[in-house]
Amino acid sequence: MVLAKTAARIAAEYDRRLVPEGLQPFGEALRTRLARASRVVLDVTGHATLLESNPVLRRSIDVRNPYVDPINLVQIELLRRLRERPDPRVRAALLVTINGVAAGMRNTG
């Protein structure tokens, strides 16, 4: 389930917009490991897709991603702005995005 909830392209966007260039290979390495872990799970289970044996959960994730992904993109911009200049209103908006992503992913951490 956790692998199915990941969005490597969203993580790459956080890296591209927020991570210093010299540290970006770390994120790339993590995304490579994520892809490898997903392939291994698929090989072990014999499935073509993650959560193939749980179509309800797979559908739930697929339906909510179009709503959560834009919140992630807003969060990236808010983090960028906070780094440039601390602002309580931007911080409050960031907290809303954190809660929105957690609620959308149905995770609190």
pTM of the model: 0.85
Q: Specify the pLDDT at position 109.
A: 47
Sign for the CA dihedral angle at 99, 93, 83, 12 comes to: positive
Query: Residue 80 and residue 62: Cα distance in Å, rounded?
Result: 28
Q: Specify the pLDDT at position 16.
A: 96
Q: Specify the pLDDT at position 107.
A: 65
pLDDT means over runs of 10, the chain (109 residues): 92 97 97 98 96 94 92 98 97 96 76
